[in-house]
Amino acid sequence: MQTPDNNNHKVSPFKGKTGIPRLINAFGYSLEGFKAAFEHEDAFRQEVFLAIVLIPLGFFLGDTSVEKALMIGSVLLVLIVELLNSAIEAAVDHTSTEHHALAKRAKDIGSGAVFLALTTVLIVWSLMLTN
């Protein structure tokens, strides 16, 4: 049961945990999120498989620690942005499955963010490999 906070807003019953129990719960929720994205999002699965190839290559092909960090970080950025995009899409679809201009805009903006993250990988890797 949700209880109101001082501003009369409904607060999640899970918000009361602090310290180590909160960290344990947060870790569990994160794993559930990764699992859900992998099971339900084709793009995330494809990007994970790409990351499985590119991250070890980044360790091998990067000459310096900074190059390795940039190459690997750019790949991880794609996964992060894809998770956020998938969350936006799920929230929009939960609200309504009807076509709406704002729903389309939200989904398109999320897709644009993924495109920029993928472009970042291409730029970073191109610069590092042609150096």
d(CA 38, CA 51): 13
Letter string b/e over residues 15-51, b meaning 16 or more CB atoms within 10 A of that residue's CB: eeeeeeeeeeeeeeeeeeeeeebeeebeebeebbeeb
Give the Å distances, CA to CA, from 109 to 113, 114, 127: 6, 9, 27
Percentages (nearest 5) of helix, strand, coil residues in the chain: 80, 5, 15
Q: Which of 32, 82, 89, 98 is catalytic?
A: 82
Whether 82 is catalytic is yes
Q: Which residues are catalytic?
A: 82
